[in-house]
Every structure is written in structure tokens, then in C-alpha cells.
Amino acid sequence: MLTATAHKRGDGKYDVTVGVETQKYKADEKGNETEVPVNDWIEIGALTAPEKGKKYGNVLHRERVHMTTAKNTYRFTTDRLPEKAGIDPLLLLVDRVPGDNLAKVSLQ
């Protein structure tokens, strides 16, 4: 995740913008990794703050987007201000560092 911002609209909804950077690697039978171009459908989304005792909040937005470049910016609208937004919000993909998929949303 690079950035996650939200702007409150006149109708009470929020326009959310997320900036993401993706990298994809393939490994051979010996474990040697090679970076390959990104050409995948990956989810972006936003979550509320988690309830007490929960690790994740409720999903406010979730959609699959076709990513073909390393850096991308996406925009979507939510009914409430999300606490966090980002790429692969439900951690469905194999990821060595899943903690960097979501960022705290700053209200602009």
C-alpha cells in the first residue's frame, strides 16, 4: 500500500482513493525467484474498524480489478468512512508480507 485517502461528499458518502504497488514473482524448482509482469485480477477494498475482540472490520467495499502495471490508483465510494483500505483486503492471495496490504484511511 502506498496511500489511502477519503473525501466526504455532500450526500454523506465517501470517495476513497487507494494507491497500490504490486510485484509478482515466480520461483523455479530450486526456489530461485524471478520477477514477472503483473497481469492479474486482484481485489481492492475497504473495511470498517474491527469490533472488540475481532481482527478485521466489516467490508465496506470489495471489487476485483485487472492490474497490469506495478503502480496503480483506484477510486471507489463507500457509505461510511473506512478505517482501512487497500489491496487484497481479505488476504486471499499468497503473500509473504500480508501486513502491508491495508493502510489506515486519512480523511482529506
- Entry pTM: 0.88
Q: Pick the residue with more confidence: 12 or 96?
A: 12
CA distances (Å), 73 to each of 65, 95, 99, in order? 11, 20, 19
Contacts (Cβ under 8 Å, ≥6 apart) of 41: 64, 65, 66, 67
Tell me the CATH number at 11: 2.60.40
- Domain residues for the domain of 59 are 3-107
Distance CA 20, CA 70 (A): 8
Parallel/antiparallel/unpaired status of strands 59-67 and 3-8: unpaired
- The model's pLDDT over 50-82, given as tens digits with 9 standing for 90+, comes to 999 988 899 999 999 999 999 999 999 999 999
Helix, strand or coil for residue 29? coil
Q: Pick the residue with more confidence: 97 or 102?
A: 102
Q: Report the number of distinct structural domains present in the chain.
A: 1
